Amino acid sequence: MPDVLVAGGGPTGLLTAYELERAGLDVLVLERDARPTTQSKALAVQPRSIEVLEDRGLLAAVEPYVEARLPAGHFSGIRIDYADLPTRFPYQLGVEQAYVAAAIEARLRTPVLRGAAVTAVEQDDEGVTVTAGGRDHRAGWLVAADGGHSTVRTLLRAAFPGTSARFSLVVADFTLASKPAGLADDWQLPSGTAGFLLPLSGGRYRAVVGGEEQQRLGRDAPVTAEELQRALTDAYGPGIEVGEVLWASRFGDAARQLERYRHGRVLFAGDAAHIHLPVGGQGLNLGLQDAVNLGWKLAAQVRGHAPDGLLDSYHDERHPVSARVLVSTRAQGGLGVPDPYAAAVREIVAGLLAGPEARRSVALELSGIGITYPGIIGRATGVPVAPDGRAVLVGASLPVGWADRVETREGTEPQLVRPDGYVVWAGGPGLDTALRRWFGPNE
Ligand SMILES: Cc1cc2nc3c(=O)[nH]c(=O)nc-3n(C[C@H](O)[C@H](O)[C@H](O)COP(=O)(O)OP(=O)(O)OC[C@H]3O[C@@H](n4cnc5c(N)ncnc54)[C@H](O)[C@@H]3O)c2cc1C
């Protein structure tokens, strides 16, 4: 019997499984789809997520698929320069989400059981029984990373408050039979929330459109080549001609967040826990960071040395981060509405964001570099995570009793780094207290 079941083999579920197996747990991923997806909703990986991938040795596998390094993010299409961010990676990676997921999956020893859609979940005091693909699976814990329409969330009747979609957009990947004059051949930051067109590898293009026709059509109406052609002609003129539509889907600006990320022995992560307009490229990044926050805490819980409240600190730390992304994406959606009032607010906001302080504060938020939690001193930079999921103590001697949970390294800058890369002690008194608070009693 595995220690943990993970529902959903998207980027969040795969990275959670990776974190758990690094810490020595037996994990099984249950994935609905029969084959790994080649379709990518997300195209942007933010600086903090690049750090997370690099720390784990996963970045090298993503690099060959990187199509752009964009030295800025954007707030509803208003450019937010990243140049002075305190990171080795002051840029967004333009890379298709499917390659990020594939890079993580390639490193997993954990099996990914495909064609295994979760249809029932029962929990008791000892564990969780999950029915998937017509079979029952039992484990101590379940991580629900089954995406924005999470079945687990529905089965548990978990409260998911927020706001419903007010507008609808289409995302599509396609080839062009004819290109409009002046269409850029490299990646550009979008200049608004209502649409963009950019070239992908292999002669494919990605468009997001959200005109009047998209507002009229129902959420479940299939996206046709004709609808896409009309929207692109409206935006780019008669010179553009759609060839083959490779993938298309509708999405909106619904913004919701689980009231509680933990329901007994079930923990929610990624889009299963929070949904919002994908403006500014935040969702995939939230999911990756949920995964690294949750992984070591759940591993400590399973191994029996988690201090009181450690597992619940997953909700306490990550819920406010997503809540803030909901605020940011709602604001960005509001600025993108094509009416004179939104345009007026946009003009004022763009003016304010030209100031260095406002720009930097938004850059810290969008990039994830500014994320912090109560009791955290900062992000560790240049301290790669331990391969076995232990914390890392640099430049100090480890008191007796924690060696199974903390690796020691030489160094001149003393610091104690949690397995998710956050510093909880940086020299001076308090090492013992920090060890107990985060890693449990000495044994
Ligand atoms: C148009 C668009 C553009 C976006 N652009 C960006 C961007 O640039 N940057 C960014 O950070 N984010 C972006 N996002 C958001 C990002 O794509 C998501 O936040 C991300 O996919 C979340 O990953 P996840 O693993 O949590 O969920 P998903 O990627 O949805 O993965 C969930 C997995 O669970 C599986 N599953 C579903 N139901 C079940 C079940 N019952 N049983 C078992 N498995 C199940 C699914 O098959 C899937 O593999 C964008 C989203 C959209 C719609």
Q: Assess whether 326 and 434 both reside in one domain.
A: no
Same domain? 261 vs 404: no
Q: Which atom of ligand 1 is nearest to the CA of 12?
A: 25
> In this structure, are residues 285 and 47 in contact, taking their beta carbons and an 8 Å threshold?
no
Whether residue 182 is predicted with pLDDT greater than 80 in this model: the reply is no
- Flag whether 373 is in a domain: no
- Is the residue at 245 inside a domain? yes
Same domain, 191 and 260: no
Q: Look at residue 194 in the predicted model and tell me its pLDDT.
A: 57
pLDDT at 184: 74
Q: What is the pLDDT of residue 92?
A: 97
Q: Please choose from 38, 97, 142 the residue to mutate so as to test ligand 1's pocket, defined by most ligand atoms within 8 A of CB.
A: 97
Q: How far is the CA of 295 from the centre of ligand 1 (A)?
A: 19
- Rounded to the nearest angstrom, the distance between the alpha carbon of 190 and the centre of ligand 1 is 21
**Best probe residue, ligand 1, of 41, 206, 276 (max atoms within 8 Å of C-beta):** 41
Q: Do 148 and 290 reside in the same domain of the chain?
A: yes
Closest residue CA from atom 27 of ligand 1: 147
CATH number for the domain that contains residue 205:
3.30.70.2450
Assess whether 149 and 289 both reside in one domain: yes
Statement: residue 293 has pLDDT above 80: yes
Contacts 24+ apart (CB under 8 A), 259-265: 259/158, 259/159, 259/160, 259/161, 260/158, 260/159, 260/315, 261/314, 261/315, 261/318, 261/319, 262/311, 262/312, 262/314, 262/315, 263/156, 263/158, 264/123, 265/123, 265/127, 265/128, 265/140, 265/141, 265/142
| Domain final position from 346, 367, 388 | 367
Place of tokens 């992304």: 325
* Ligand 1 proximal residues by C-beta, below 6 Å: 7-13, 30-33, 41-44, 97, 117-118, 145-148, 151, 171, 251, 270-271, 278, 281-285, 287
The domain boundary, picked from 222, 252, 282, lies at: 252
Cα of 332 vs centre of ligand 1, distance in Å, is: 20
Tell me which of 53 and 236 has the higher pLDDT: 53
Q: Are residues 324 and 415 in the same domain?
A: no
Task: Report yes or no on 335 lying in a domain.
Answer: yes
Kindly list the strands in the beta sheet with 141-144, ordered across the sheet, starting from the edge strand earlier in the chain: 112-114, 27-31, 4-7, 141-144, 266-268, 262-263
| CB-CB contact of 294 with 16 (8 Å) | yes
**Ligand 1: distance of its center to the CA of 277 in Å?**
12
Structural domain boundaries enclosing 243: 168-252
CATH number at residue 413: 3.40.30.120
**Per-residue pLDDT averaged across 285-304, rounded?**
98
Please tell me the distance from the alpha carbon of residue 186 to that of residue 214, in angstroms, as a whole number: 27
> Which atom of ligand 1 is closest in space to residue 284's alpha carbon?
11
Over range 269-287, report the average pLDDT.
Answer: 96
pLDDT value for 29: 98
Instruction: Give the residue whose CA is nearest to atom 15 of ligand 1.
Output: 283
CA 147 / ligand 1 centre spacing (Å)? 5
What type of residue is 93?
Answer: L
Closest CA to 406 of 305, 312, 270: 305
What is the whole-number distance in angstroms between the Cα of residue 257 and the centre of ligand 1? 15
Both 48 and 119 in one domain: the answer is yes
Same domain, 158 and 271: yes
Task: Using a pLDDT cut of 70, give the percent of the chain over it.
Answer: 98
Position 408: which residue type?
T
Whether residues 287 and 326 share a domain: the answer is yes
Answer yes or no: do 100 and 197 share one domain: no
Tell me the HSE value of 19 on the side-chain side, using a 13 A CA sphere.
Answer: 30
Average pLDDT rounded to a whole number, residues 245-253 = 95
Q: Are residues 70 and 194 in the same domain?
A: no
pLDDT band at 238 (very low <50, low <70, confident <90, very high): confident
Which atom belonging to ligand 1 lies closest to the Cα atom of 283?
Answer: 19
Q: What is the mean pLDDT of residues 117-136?
A: 97
* pLDDT at residue 147 in the model: 98
How far away, in angstroms, is 97 Cα from ligand 1 center?
Answer: 9
Residue 143 sits in the same domain as residue 236 = no
Mean pLDDT, the chain, whole residue set: 94
Has residue 372 been placed in a domain? no
Q: What is the mean pLDDT of residues 137-149?
A: 98
| pLDDT at residue 292 in the model | 98
Look at ligand 1, atom 26, and give the residue with the nearest C-alpha. 270
Q: If pLDDT is split at 50, 70 and 90, which confidence band does 197 have?
A: confident
| Residues 280-305, mean pLDDT to the nearest whole number | 97
pLDDT value at 232 more than 60? yes
- pLDDT tens digits, residue range 391-410? 999 999 999 999 999 999 99
Tokens linked to 292:
């690294």
User: Which of 233, 252, 271 is the C-terminal boundary of a domain?
Assistant: 252
Helix%, strand%, coil% for the chain, nearest 5:
35, 25, 40
pLDDT digits (tens, 9 = 90+) for 205-217: 999 998 889 999 9
Q: What is the CATH number of the domain that holds 104?
A: 3.50.50.60
Q: Give ∠ CA 300-306-309 in degrees, rounded to 5.
A: 125
User: What is the amino acid identity at position 129?
Assistant: T
Structural domains in the chain (count): 3
3-state class (DSSP) for residue 132: strand
Report helix, strand or coil for 144.
Answer: strand
